[in-house]
Structure 1
Amino acid sequence: MRTIDKRLTAKLAPVLVKRAPTITLAFDARCKSRLAVTLDNGEEVALVMPRGTVLADGDMLVADDGGFVRVVAAAEDVLVVRAVNPLTLMRAAYHLGNRHTPVEIDADHLKLEADSVLEDMLKRLGTTVTRESQPFQPETGAYGGGHKHGHDETFSEDYALAQKLYREHDHSQCGHDHDHHHHHHGHGHE
C-alpha cells in the first residue's frame, strides 16, 4: 500500500495535474492527518499528513513512490446563506464566527455544513438559507495556512504577528481596563 505524506507546493505542468489520480474527500476527511482512503481509481492508500494540515480542492500530493495524487473536494450537504444587504450577511458571519463554525466566504454568500440549529438561527437573523450539495472549503485561519500548533513551520511568525496586533490594540475600547489592583471576588486572589 502506498503512503501519501507530502503536499506539493510547486506548480506542476498541467499535463501532470490532469494525469494524476484523484482522491475525493469531504471537508472533515481533508482535516484528518491520518486516514486510510481509496483513490477514485480504486487504489487503497494511507494518507499521512503533518498534523494541522487542511487539504483543499486542487492540492497536489506526493506518495512515497514519487507519484502524484490530486485532491478533489467532495460535494456535501451545506447551507448557502444569502442576504438582501451586506450588513445582514456580516451579522450572520459574526454569529457563526462567535460559535467557531467553519465558514466558506464568498462576495455574496456564506457556506457552512448543514446544521438545522444554525439554519434556524440564520433565518431569524433575516438571511435566506438554502440546503444544497456542493464542495465545502471554509476559511483556514486568520494568520496563515490553517489550524496552527506549536510545531508548525510558520507558527512562530504567526504568533509574533498576533502578539504585535494584541499590543497595538487599544484595550480601553474593550469595555474594561487593565488595572490589576481590583478584586476578583470568589477567586481567592487580588
Structure 2
Amino acid sequence: MLKLTERLGPIAADQASDTLTLPYELRIRGRLKAESDAGRDLGLFLDRGPVLRDGEGLRAEGGEVVRIRAADEPVVTARIASGLPLARLAYHLGNRHVQLALGEDEKGGYVRFPPDHVLEELATLLGATLEHHRAPFDPEPGAYQQLGGHGHSHSHSHSHSHGHSHSQSNGHDHDHGHEHGHSHAH
C-alpha cells in the first residue's frame, strides 16, 4: 500500500504519477484506505482539518505524488442574476451553516450545494433556478484556510429563546420559555 503523508497544495496534472478521485464526504477525512484511479491500494495518513481540494497533490513516504480529483456526485446548482441577487443568494444559503461551492461558467455565476429540500426551497424563493445534476462538489474553504491560517479554529454558539403561551380550558393561562442551544466548530 502506498502511504500518502504530505499535502503539497495545488499541483499540475503532469507532476503526479497517479490520481485519486473522491467525493466530498471522503475528501474531508485525514485517514482513509482507497484505490487510486490506476487501481493501486492507497492509504491516507494526513493531518486533520483542511479538505482535500480538487487538484491538490499528496506525497507518499517514498516521494511518489498522487493528485486528488473531485468526483462527480449529486448536486444542485442554483443560478440567479449576477450582482446583488447572486450575493443575496450566497448570503442566505451560507447563513444556513452549510458547505457551498461558488463558481462561474459559460451560463454565469452559481451557488452549488448537495441536494437538500430546505435549501432548494429557499433558493427558489429568492428567485434562483435550480439544476439537479452530477458534478464535482468542491465547496469554498473557510476564510482562514484561504488566507493561510492553518490550524486556526474557533467555535461559537447560538441560543434561541422561544416563549410559549398555553391557554387551558379551566381559564388559567400560563407562559413558559425554553432554550435551544447548539454550537458550531469551525
Q: TM-score, normalised by structure 2?
A: 0.72
C-alpha root-mean-square deviation of aligned residues, in Å?
2.5
- Is the aligned partner of 1:51 residue 2:44? no
Q: Which residue of 1 aligns with 2:2?
A: 2
- What residue identity is the alignment partner of 1:116? H
Residue of 10, 33, 38 corresponding to 2:35: 38
Structure with greater helix percent: 1
How far the C-alpha of 1:104 sits from its partner, in A, is: 1.1
Deviations 1:109-145, CA, capped at 9 Å, x for gaps: 1111122221122111111111121111111011234
State the match for 1:121 in structure 2: 122
Structure 2 stretches of 5 or more lacking a match?
Answer: 155-186
**Aligned residues between the structures:** 150
- C-alpha distance 48-99 of structure 1, shift in aligned 2 (>3 A): same
**Gaps spanning 5+ residues in structure 1: where?**
160-190
Relative to 1, partners in 2 of residues 1:15 and 1:91: Cα closer, same or farther, differing over 3 Å? closer
Cα distance in structure 1, aligned partners of 2:46 and 2:53 = 13
Is the 8 Å Cα contact of residues 10 and 57 (structure 2) preserved in structure 1? Answer: no
**Matched residue, 1:27:** 24
Shift of 1:38: 0.9
Structure whose residues are more often strand by fraction: 2
Identical pairs, percent: 36
Distance 1:21 1:93, change over 3 A: same
For 1:137 and 1:98, the matched residues in 2 are separated by 18
What residue identity is the alignment partner of 2:15? L
| Structure 1 position 15, deviation (Å) | 3.9
Mapped to 2, the partners of 1:144 and 1:7 lie a distance apart of 14
Partner amino acid, structure 2, of 1:83: I
TM-score under structure 1 normalisation?
0.70
One-letter amino acid of the counterpart of residue 88, structure 2: R
Please give the secondary structure, in 2, of the residue aligned with 1:144: helix
Please identify runs of 4+ aligned residues in structure 1 that moved more than 4 A. Answer: 9-12
Give the deviation of 1:11 after TM superposition.
5.5
